[in-house]
Amino acid sequence: MNKDIGESGTVINTGNLEFIVAKLSESKDVIEGAALLLFYIVNLHPFLEGNKRTAYLAAKTFLVANGRSIKGDANTEELIYDVATNRFNAEQVEAALKKLVK
């Protein structure tokens, strides 16, 4: 995803990426899955660079692939900031996404 903007897309922690995929497979619904992607990619930094951007794109793509979408992108920047600064845990991310997803 980030190669389009000049980033390498290099995975620096395969174990963390596998953990994220395992968590996603345990999710009970689409919004929870998107929240887990967003939360864990931001916090576990599986990529060399662009983890916040990748987390957003992964969550958004997951939602669209499952027939859902985010109502505008304006509030997602604040949400990602809250995750990156440890203001939100995974459950809080899910609650926030429930308000943003249609």
Q: Which CATH number does the domain housing residue 85 bear?
A: 1.20.120.1870
- What is the value of pTM for the model shown? 0.87
Neighbouring residues of 93: CB distance < 8 A, sequence distance ≥ 6: 35, 38, 39, 79, 83
Asked if the structure places residue 85 within a domain, the reply is yes
Asked if the structure places residue 5 within a domain, the reply is no
Mean pLDDT of 30-56: 95
Asked if the structure places residue 3 within a domain, the reply is no
Place of tokens 């203001």: 87
Asked if the structure places residue 28 within a domain, the reply is yes
Q: Which domain holds residue 20?
A: 12-100
pLDDT, residue 77, reads 87
pLDDT in tens, 61-75: 999 999 999 887 667
Q: Residue 80: which of 35, 15, 47 has the closest Cα?
A: 35
Domain count, the chain: 1
Nearest-10 crossing angle of helices 30-44, 51-65: 170
